[in-house]
């Protein structure tokens, strides 16, 4: 009963506009006192909060946020979309596919859904509109492409999951690579089908010479994920070091290769990164005490006992987890959901002998759906702010992409090879 009271309180507070960090902090303290906890122990709250954010794994988050902000200004997204356009524009759905490919590459740099959608959206929308593509469809396609940011490594969501579960970041990154790429291919196939059905115009084939020029322009941008992932899997960098090196590399591109980044831009970029980092870390810090309260009240143990006696196999449990995450994603931000549910879902999965790394990818995909579903739907609002299109019009066009992501989450949940194939090679 107490578990439902906690989640109901969290949901109500967030629906009325209270920030995620404040909501989790208030709910944690109230639950602790309601459960008969010693008020004196509340003096341990700052200690728990600090311990939660002091892990070395989480130190990569500000660098990946910085890299995403640098890319938005530094001309990387423009070169990526330009290369995709000359290679794919002559096919049905060529420009939408180019936008998705650009989002995939952007995802392999920043790990942020909003950064991918905003970076590509500001460039691709105008080009797609000029070629006759419907604006709500274009917005939905780029929003869906941006949703790959939390799935394709380096994913900030997977970094958080690694920090919360004490699992290998490299293994989680390897596990997310194949599902993320398969989702990208699925999005491209769906967009091509819709474009052929709606009769959206194809562009004229571009001569090989122009393709070569576009490739040369995009080459250094395409090397960014190679540096990040190659360095990590090659044992040259930790996740934090890879993020720092990649940030410096993207800054170099902006200054000396594309010439779109200027010294005067840096204070604003750094300040935005500080603000974003502070918001994320504050949420993670309050989640530390939230997890302590859950353990104190034995809620995870009670949940495991109840579900273990209700189901004999892990299959229905996985379907319930996916359904709950998708439903919660309609009303709450993904980071908050992850921090709330990991202390319950991970021990539950372990009780059935389910792989924690595989569960992390399943949760990551299910949570990413939330950026495409109203009323929260972060990427919907990002695209709406860029284009002026109504959020619900974009959401309607995004239904197909949402269904593909749900099917992908179920497939990854029941086919271990999709996620663990590469992960086992890393470990």
Q: What is the pLDDT of residues 301-318, one digit of tens each?
A: 676 677 767 788 899 999
Instruction: Report residue 376: phi and psi, to 5°.
Output: -80, -65
Q: Between the CA of residue 118 and those of 94, 357, 386, what are the distances in Å?
A: 20, 29, 8
In this predicted structure, what is the pLDDT of residue 301?
65
Looking at every residue in the chain, the average pLDDT score rounds to 82
In this predicted structure, what is the pLDDT of residue 6?
65
CA dist 293 and 36 (Å) reads 11
CA dist 371 and 151 (Å) reads 12
What one-character-per-residue DSSP string does 322-363 give? HHHHHHHHTTS-HHHHHHHHHHHHHHHHHHTT--HHHHHHHH
Distance of CA 309 to the CA centre of its chain: 34
Mean pLDDT, range 178-188, rounded to an integer: 94
Which residue carries 């309180």 as its tokens?
9
CA dist 152 and 173 (Å) reads 7
In this predicted structure, what is the pLDDT of residue 387?
83
Mean pLDDT, range 137-143, rounded to an integer: 92
Instruction: Return the HEC string of the chain.
Output: CHHHHHHHHHHHHHHCCCCHHHHHHHHHHHHHHHCCCCHHHHHHHHHHHHHHHCCHHHHHHHHHHHHHHHHHHCCHHHHHHHHHHHHHCCCCCHHHHHHHHHHHHHHHHHCCHHHHHHHHHHHHHHHHHHCCCCHHHHHHHHHHHHCCCCCCCCCHHHHHHHHHHCCCHHHHHHHHHHHHHHHHHHHHHHHHHHHHHHCCCCCCCCCHHHHHHHHHHHHHHHHHHHHHHHHHHCCCCCHHHHHHHHHHHHHHHHHHHCCCCCHHHHHHHHHHHHHHHHHHHHHHHHHHHHHHHHHHCCHHHHHHHHHHHHCCCCHHHHHHHHHHHHHHHCCCCHHHHHHHHHHHHHHHHHHCCCCHHHHHHHHHHHHHHHHHCCCCCHHHHHHHHHHCCCHHHHHHHCHHHHHHHHHHHHHHHHCCHHHHHHHHHHC
In this predicted structure, what is the pLDDT of residue 322?
94
pLDDT at 1 over 60: no
User: What is the tens place of the pLDDT at every residue in 190-244?
Assistant: 998 998 888 776 667 778 888 888 888 888 888 888 887 788 777 787 777 888 8
Q: Lowest-confidence range among 78-82, 183-187, 245-249, 269-273?
A: 78-82
* Count of other CB atoms within 10 angstroms of residue 247: 22
In this predicted structure, what is the pLDDT of residue 360?
95
Mean pLDDT, range 277-293, rounded to an integer: 75
Residue 162: which of 319, 314, 361 has the closest Cα?
361
CA dist 412 and 395 (Å) reads 25
Which residue carries 């909060």 as its tokens?
49
CA dist 364 and 101 (Å) reads 20
Cβ distance 376 to 382 under 8 Å?
A: no
Residue 363: which of 101, 167, 186, 185 has the closest Cα?
167
User: What is the tens place of the pLDDT at every residue in 92-138?
Assistant: 778 888 888 888 887 777 667 777 787 777 778 877 887 788 899 99
Q: Lowest-confidence range among 135-139, 296-300, 369-373?
A: 296-300
């Amino acid at each position: 009963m107490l578990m439902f009271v906690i989640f109901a309180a969290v949901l109500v507070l967030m629906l009325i506009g209270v920030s995620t960090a404040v909501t989790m902090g208030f709910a944690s303290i109230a639950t602790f006192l309601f459960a008969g906890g010693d008020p004196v122990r509340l003096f341990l709250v700052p200690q728990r909060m600090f311990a939660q954010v002091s892990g070395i794994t989480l130190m990569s988050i500000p660098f990946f946020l910085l890299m995403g902000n640098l890319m938005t200004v530094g001309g990387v997204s423009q070169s990526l979309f330009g290369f995709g356009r000359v290679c794919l524009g002559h096919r049905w759905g060529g420009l939408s596919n180019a936008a998705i490919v650009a989002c995939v590459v952007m995802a392999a740099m920043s790990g942020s859904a909003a950064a991918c959608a905003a970076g590509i959206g500001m460039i691709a929308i105008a080009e797609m509109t000029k070629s006759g593509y419907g604006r709500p469809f274009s917005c939905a396609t780029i929003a869906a492409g941006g949703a790959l940011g939390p799935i394709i490594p380096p994913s900030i969501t997977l970094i958080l999951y690694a920090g919360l579960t004490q699992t290998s970041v490299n293994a989680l990154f390897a596990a997310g690579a194949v599902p993320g790429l398969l989702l990208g291919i699925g999005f491209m196939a769906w967009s091509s089908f819709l474009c052929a059905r709606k009769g959206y115009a194809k562009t004229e084939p571009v001569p090989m010479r122009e393709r070569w020029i576009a490739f040369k322009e995009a080459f250094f941008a395409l090397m960014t994920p190679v540096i990040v992932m190659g360095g990590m899997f090659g044992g040259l960098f930790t996740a934090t070091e890879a993020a720092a090196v990649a940030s410096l590399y993207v800054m170099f591109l902006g200054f000396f290769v594309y010439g779109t980044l200027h010294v005067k831009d840096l204070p604003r970029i750094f300040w935005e990164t500080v603000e974003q980092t502070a918001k994320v870390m504050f949420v993670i810090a309050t989640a530390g005490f939230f997890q302590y309260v859950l353990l104190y009240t034995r809620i995870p143990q009670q949940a495991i006992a109840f579900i273990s006696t209700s189901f004999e196999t892990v299959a229905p449990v996985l379907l319930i987890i996916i359904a709950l995450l998708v439903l919660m994603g309609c009303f709450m931000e993904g980071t908050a959901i992850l921090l709330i549910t990991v202390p319950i879902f991970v021990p539950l999965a372990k009780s059935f002998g389910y792989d924690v790394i595989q569960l992390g990818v399943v949760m990551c995909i299910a949570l990413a759906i939330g950026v495409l579903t109203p009323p929260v739907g972060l990427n919907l609002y990002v695209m709406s702010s860029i284009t002026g299109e109504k959020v619900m019009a974009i959401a309607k066009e995004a239904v197909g992409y949402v269904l593909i992501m749900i099917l992908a989450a179920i497939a990854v949940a029941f086919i271990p090879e999709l996620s663990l194939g590469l992960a086992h090679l890393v470990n």
